[in-house]
Structure 1
């Protein structure tokens, strides 16, 4: 079997962050081969960076067993799915004047670094359908998590008329088809969360119709012990922030607060991050700091790749797919 990515990085990625990338990739493969499961956490604008092109294949091939992501990453994969041709790339984004930024806003183009998400085509195409699903659930007295509502929308087929990229490039479609467990801490801080809030303010929906972040922690607290036997659950963190900080705490919460003293630590840890430790940033903390918080064991394989996740994650996922 040809392994072009493996051959390339093992030949040229020999020192510093590149060597850490190889070591972490090999550790991920070893963890899976030993029967372990893996959580991937997504912060930043990874869905807008089209990580779905390869993350979807990781999901289809059972290389990831649960995802934690921001509300933005949950929805932006679907926005790209239904409005890709309306996106605008701005390669000279560093040179834009305030007036040029205002012009983009007036055109309904919300900029994320070099990429503008088209408000009307992306947000509003989803809004029409997700609001109906929220209201239908509420009318039946039902409550679901944010990602479960998204799954319902995907699996209903109502979005298929809008697809502008191959469906195999959407990680949310792959996740919905597998009913992959997802936790979305801080979902309220997202476009769909803002839209939901507006309907609650107008009295058209109740806040309780969408399950909360506390309920996500309760869900994760149920999932983790059931899946941490044998080799255990690994933690692959893309970026920092709440997508990683929230789920990693389930271990000390179970051990310390629930007094479930047989709770195993996370059994693999890797973070791709450009954050540094010198600012008191938890996202930039070296993995050993997590030992003091009761999240990682002394023996947990620990890796940190201090680099750009949009460059490193696709390389690492390609290596993992070629070797496991």
Structure 2
């Protein structure tokens, strides 16, 4: 085990029971998983990029603590929005007290609220739009097709956004991922702001939908990735939140085993979910990990952890442990 810093020492001293103990157990098992030479996927749901998870996730990427990420389209773009428009964000700590009229007033100011944080439409969405459109159009003119994250990588690596940077670039997880060409899977990208913008260009006849690779192509790509990287031990699965960011990629294992009849496909070899979704009738996000055994996703002996807490608190602490902070 590498030397540990003050944050980790605090965690080990005080986090001894209940969800705090689960946090430590999950972090220790994550570290063991990597030490055994196995790869780890992190999945990002919710608004983790707007929560500035990049402050710790970017370093996780740089230090090879994660080998592949699955995220929503919102998380893909919102990290870049924070990179170029941070000073224009507005925090609303009293968001619970807002009336419908208050919310409308925010909309009229071009402020789109995510809990206590408002994303500035003009400085964030529109600032990116004109540049990413050029990259979409250039690819289409050349008869080329790419995944959503590959277009974002091209945007970041082109340097065209550097004029707008408003945070230390080391805190952008997307920039760190682009520099490493980290594999990313973005299921349901169409429901993101950039996905909506791309669709609007298709409706206007300015772009073709086929220029953007699809969710089915992401799934088939992931099937090949898992086959080529899981070996006989499997890949780990660290799920932040619920929803499609977790649901989509975890299905690749039963698909390979059952539908492709590759019966030597190993289960996911580690599973942890940070979620505030409590177990309830029909809730997949709130399902206990053992339910996934019945779907052919996890094995009997797969290390399984669930931390029922706020991911914006828990994830940076787990990452701090892994980074030796």
CA distance, structure 1, for counterparts of residue 193 and residue 35 of structure 2: 38
- Whether the 8 Å CA contact 1:143–1:209 is kept in 2: the answer is yes
CA distance, structure 1, for counterparts of residue 137 and residue 261 of structure 2: 39
CA distance, structure 2, for counterparts of residue 2 and residue 23 of structure 1: 16
Alignment of 1:292 onto 2:294? yes
- Whether the 8 Å CA contact 1:35–1:230 is kept in 2: the answer is no
- Whether the 8 Å CA contact 2:233–2:266 is kept in 1: the answer is no
Offset at 1:232?
2.7
- Whether the 8 Å CA contact 2:232–2:266 is kept in 1: the answer is no
- Whether the 8 Å CA contact 1:55–1:171 is kept in 2: the answer is yes
- Specify every segment of 5 or more residues in structure 2 that has no aligned partner in the other structure, as ranges: none
Alignment-derived partner of residue 267 in structure 1: 269
Alignment-derived partner of residue 39 in structure 2: 37
Q: What secondary structure is seen at the aligned counterpart in 1 of 2:274?
A: strand
CA distance, structure 2, for counterparts of residue 172 and residue 48 of structure 1: 12
Alignment-derived partner of residue 48 in structure 1: 50
- Whether the 8 Å CA contact 1:227–1:233 is kept in 2: the answer is yes
Counterpart of 2:251 (choices 236, 249, 252) is 249
Alignment-derived partner of residue 220 in structure 1: 222
CA distance, structure 1, for counterparts of residue 80 and residue 128 of structure 2: 8
- Whether the 8 Å CA contact 1:79–1:123 is kept in 2: the answer is yes
Counterpart of 1:74 (choices 73, 76, 79) is 76
CA distance, structure 1, for counterparts of residue 171 and residue 210 of structure 2: 33
CA distance, structure 2, for counterparts of residue 231 and residue 28 of structure 1: 14
- Runs (4+) of structure 1 exceeding 4 A deviation are none
Offset at 1:230?
5.3
Offset at 1:4?
1.0
Which deviations, in whole Å up to 9, do the C-alpha atoms of 1:94-143 show, x marking residues without a partner? 00111111110000000000000000000011001000000000000000
CA distance, structure 1, for counterparts of residue 220 and residue 4 of structure 2: 43
Alignment-derived partner of residue 27 in structure 2: 25
Matches within 5 A, 1:109-120: 109-120=111-122
CA distance, structure 2, for counterparts of residue 224 and residue 73 of structure 1: 23
- Whether the 8 Å CA contact 2:4–2:321 is kept in 1: the answer is no
CA distance, structure 1, for counterparts of residue 146 and residue 205 of structure 2: 19
Matches within 5 A, 1:140-159: 140-159=142-161
Counterpart of 1:189 (choices 170, 181, 191) is 191
Q: What secondary structure is seen at the aligned counterpart in 2 of 1:85?
A: helix
CA distance, structure 2, for counterparts of residue 64 and residue 81 of structure 1: 21
Counterpart of 1:127 (choices 123, 126, 129) is 129
Offset at 1:153?
0.3
Alignment-derived partner of residue 320 in structure 2: 318
CA distance, structure 1, for counterparts of residue 178 and residue 135 of structure 2: 16
- Whether the 8 Å CA contact 1:272–1:309 is kept in 2: the answer is yes
Alignment-derived partner of residue 107 in structure 1: 109
CA distance, structure 2, for counterparts of residue 297 and residue 272 of structure 1: 20
Count of aligned residue pairs for this structure pair: 323
Alignment of 1:178 onto 2:180? yes
CA distance, structure 2, for counterparts of residue 20 and residue 155 of structure 1: 38
Q: What secondary structure is seen at the aligned counterpart in 2 of 1:192?
A: helix
Offset at 1:257?
0.3
Offset at 1:279?
3.2
Matches within 5 A, 1:7-26: 7-26=9-28
Counterpart of 2:62 (choices 60, 78, 87) is 60
Which deviations, in whole Å up to 9, do the C-alpha atoms of 1:47-100 show, x marking residues without a partner? 000000100000000000000000000000000000000000000000011111
Q: What secondary structure is seen at the aligned counterpart in 1 of 2:187?
A: coil
